[in-house]
Chains A and B, each alone.
Chain A
Amino acid sequence: MRKRARTFWKLFPAHFVIIAVCVCAIVFYTTGTITRLCKERELADLETQAFLVQKLVQGKLSREYSRDLNTILKQIGPEISSRITVLLPSGSVLADSQEDPDRIGDYSVRPEIKDALTGKRTSSTRLSITSSLETTYLATPVFEDGRIVGVVRVSAPVEATGSIPRPLYVEILLGTAIIFFLAAALSMYVSRRIHRSVLELREGAAQFSGGKLNYRLDVPNDEDFGSLAEDLNNMAAQLHGLVTSITQQRNELEAVLHGMVEAVLLIDTNERVLRTNEAAERLFQLDRDRVKNRTVHEVIRNTELHRFVSKTLAGKGPFEGDIIILGSPDKFLQAHGVGLLDTHGNSIGAVVVLNDVTRLKTLENIRRDFVANVSHELKTPITSMKGFLETLREGAMNDPENAGRFLDIIIKHTDRLNAIIDDLLSLSRIERDVEKGGISTRESLIKPVIEAVVKSCNTKAQPKNIIIECDVDTELVARMNPILLEQALVNLVDNAIKYSETGGTVLIEALMDNENIIVRVRDHGCGIPKEHLPRIFERFYRVDKARSRKVGGTGLGLSIVKHIVNAHGGRITVESSLGLGSTFTIHLPNPRAISVHA
């Protein structure tokens, strides 16, 4: 509230002072004029009296009439407020309305008498010795036949006549005071009005600066304040529009960043993180609030990324790089970095976009390995066969014993090549079926399938004295393609047998839990090392190349199993410990799945 007084006090006191000064000036001027007017009136009055006296004393201006004149004057004297004195040209007093002429001295030195004796009518104002009052004296010469025969002097105290009477004075002052206060009040009112306009504008400005750009000022009916208010309103409208459009742009940008699959990092010249998007927060497990304004080093601990960021900030780009996040599993990222420049070409930061290419890289590895493996798998038997055939050609065919042996070996190799190609075709057929719209399935009992599997594998199990045990619910039903499922299980059981020691057991179990049908093949063989577990379902992937070939295998068995299981809409998992054995678990969707919500 204090500030309010200040502006008001700027307007009001100035006006107040101006009014006061003017009023005082007017009062002084008026009283001065009135005083002058009164004085002139008084003088005129004295002149009239002097003229009348002059007529009265005409012809009687000599000593013999002295007593008569005195008597008359003394009779008039008390009735009038002025004093009349008649003098001879010598200066001596002939008659007086108030004093005794004999006792009055020579008046010839009095200025007005002196002047009158020269023939001029004059007045003077001075302090009277006799009455001790300020008195005005008017002396006029009396002429007779062109000769001055005497002087008539009329005098009156100033106080009685020559100034403004006291009541009038008081009246004037009172009137002045009233008018003065009225004027002051009016001035105050007007000042307040103006001040209020200013205050309204101030309120509007405060609202705008507080962000309420929707507020609108009332436009006062005044050119200056009015146009100011209009301009302020326009400014607010413009700002509002700008803010809205910027906010919208910002929201659009946010939406784009939010929806991106790639991770985006915005970094400033001090290597501090300005902005991240959701993908980046997921990838690096960041908490957006904790990341603000921390350096890249603190937030993401990856040396390659730090180097990439430094490089991008130093140069203009665009830069590309590969970044690996170590973990289980490792993540491979492709980074793209561009420097951000301001209008003068100075670096103000960098943008780094990261693409998760782990899957691509894995697929690339798989494909590369596959091609290498296929070539190798096919080439090895063929080279071998070629060798033997050439040997035969060069003479061994003439040696029946050796020839026979060689040909057996060649036949074995061709069988192997055949098996590989069969498996490849099998795989390709399943893939094609899946692509075309799926394999044909029907709901049927599992147990018969497993029994068929056992029967078919027993031929391989018996020589090694391996027992195949079954634990299968007779009623268990699944939606499946029995032939394909049998093929998959045969592969699994075959493997189990291959990699088990003599006298071991292989267990096949099938059971149901709420979501899935589970078929499990468990062996107690040599097991699979941990590092190979993620990749054993790849085509031609071998754990121990030497041993695998010895026990006979194409390297495609598990791949076929995985494809069959996936075609059924299920999945396959493996657990294994070296030296203890492996467990392969097939999960198939349960056709009778009942969701129980308690």
Chain B
Amino acid sequence: MRIRLHRDIQRLDKSIVSLGTLVEERFRMAVKAIEFRDTDLATRVVEGDLEIDQREVDLEEECLKILALHQPVADQLRYIVAILKMNNDLERIGDLAVNIAKSVPLIARRSDLQNFFDYSSMAERVQEMLEESLDALVNRDLNLAYQVCAQDDEVDIMKRAMQAQFATQVCNNPVDMEPMIELFLVSRHLERIADHATNIAEDVIYMISGAIHRHRGRDYEDIE
């Protein structure tokens, strides 16, 4: 029985890393699509979401099966629970990537707007966070996970800066409302992705140490 459980957990390991990889790639593609106004790339991201959703469902079923069949305890139970939660966060990131990709066609028509919102630094930071949280998962690296959590605040600050910029731009060019709103929303999606990446890191912390590292250091109120 123990061997079965071990094998099932190994398979689960592979599945979650696969899903993480897929989501990471889709997110990268979405960011590239925004930066280069590539509508083809954006379409691929949107179409690829089906696969992510399917994999999320499969992974959840795998977890439930293990829980029912093997009734794991202690470390292994913690592990399964953490995987279930990460699964959820990854699927959400996939959805948010799709949201970003969906705004590409709207923005592509207005190439002059690019100078108002440059997402490269924010997107890069969020990509980094996602990559690091997955690295922390794969390498069981507690320190890296804590690092990811610490970076979330910076992304929030970036988003606020974008918000301010948006407000100014809207005042100056009220006509360009629709594409500008789309562009602005991208910053919101990015910030949400950063939140989910942080959640993943917290789940990794839980998985390794058993400590629940949530709801800490949130100094700012969410003004939305």
Contacts and interface: CB of A to CB of B under 8 A. Distances in A.
Nearest to A330: B32
Q: Which of A294, A302, A303, A529: most chain B Cβ within 10 A?
A: A303
B14 A529 contact: no
A326 B21 contact: no
B196 to A, nearest CB: 17
Given A297-B14, A298-B138, A578 B21 contact: no
Interface stretch (B23-31, B96-104, B148-156, B201-209): B23-31
B73 to A, nearest CB: 25
Interface in B10-44: 13-14, 17-18, 20-22, 24-25, 28-29, 32, 35-37
A302 B21 contact: yes
A303 B14 contact: no
Contact of A303 (B21, B35, B111, B112): B21
B51 to A, nearest CB: 9
B115 interface: yes
A578 B29 contact: no
Interface in A323-350: 326
B193 interface: no
Given A297-B14, A301-B17, A529 B114 contact: yes
Given A297-B21, A303-B22, A531-B36, A577 B14 contact: no
A530 interface: yes
Interface residues of B, number: 23
Contact of B21 (A301, A577, A579): A301
Q: Dominant SS at the B interface? A: helix
A301 B134 contact: yes
Contacts of B36: 531
Given A531-B35, A578-B114, A579-B115, A295 B25 contact: no
A290 B141 CA distance: 13
A529 B118 CA distance: 11
B32 A326 contact: yes
Given A301-B134, A531-B36, A295 B17 contact: yes
Given A271-B14, A531-B36, A577-B115, A302 B138 contact: no
Contacts of B111: 529
Contacts of B114: 529-530, 578
B21 A295 contact: no
A229 to B, nearest CB: 47
A530 B114 CA distance: 9
B37 A531 contact: yes
Contact of B115 (A295, A297, A531, A578): A578
A306 interface: yes
Given A271-B14, A326-B29, A530-B35, A301 B20 contact: yes
Interface in A263-280: 271
Contacts of A306: 18, 21
Contacts of B115: 527, 577-580
Nearest to A271: B14
Given A303-B22, A529-B114, A531-B35, A326 B17 contact: no
Given A306-B21, A578-B115, A326 B14 contact: no
B18 A326 contact: no
A577 B215 CA distance: 40
A524 to B, nearest CB: 14
B37 A301 contact: no
Most buried by B among A294, A295, A577, A580: A295
A417 B136 CA distance: 60
Given A326-B32, A529-B114, A577-B115, A297 B18 contact: yes
A579 B114 CA distance: 10
Contacts of A295: 13-14, 17
B189 to A, nearest CB: 18
A290 B140 CA distance: 12
A531 B111 CA distance: 11
Contacts of A579: 115
A273 to B, nearest CB: 13
Contacts of B139: 290, 298
Contacts of B13: 295, 298
Interface string A401-412: 000000000000
Contacts of A303: 18, 21-22, 25
Interface string A289-305: 01000110110011100
Contacts of A580: 115
Nearest to B111: A529
Interface string B119-159: 01000000000000010001100000000000000000000
A301 B14 contact: no
A290 to B, nearest CB: 8
A535 to B, nearest CB: 11
B160 to A, nearest CB: 23
Nearest to A301: B21
B35 A301 contact: no
A302 B25 contact: yes
A302 B22 CA distance: 7
A529 B115 CA distance: 9
A332 to B, nearest CB: 14
Contact of B25 (A297, A326, A578): A326
Nearest to A305: B21
B149 to A, nearest CB: 21
A598 to B, nearest CB: 36
A302 B134 CA distance: 13
A530 B124 CA distance: 15
Most chain B beta carbons < 10 A, residue from A297, A302, A531, A579: A297
Interface in A526-558: 527, 529-531
A297 B17 contact: yes
Contacts of A531: 35-37
A62 B25 CA distance: 149
Nearest to B21: A301
Nearest to B138: A298
A290 B120 CA distance: 31
Contacts of B14: 271, 295, 297
Interface string A19-35: 00000000000000000
A466 B112 CA distance: 24
Nearest to A326: B28
Nearest to A307: B18
List the 3 shortest-distance A-B pairs measured between CB atoms, nearest first.
A578-B115, A301-B21, A531-B36
Given A297-B14, A303-B18, 8 more contacts: A298-B138, A301-B21, A529-B111, A530-B114, A530-B120, A531-B36, A577-B115, A578-B115
Interface of B: 13-14, 17-18, 20-22, 24-25, 28-29, 32, 35-37, 111-112, 114-115, 120, 134, 138-139
Interface of A: 271, 290, 294-295, 297-298, 301-303, 306, 326, 527, 529-531, 577-580
18 contacts: A295-B17, A297-B18, A297-B21, A298-B13, A298-B17, A301-B20, A301-B24, A302-B21, A303-B18, A303-B22, A326-B28, A326-B29, A527-B115, A530-B114, A577-B115, A578-B112, A578-B114, A580-B115
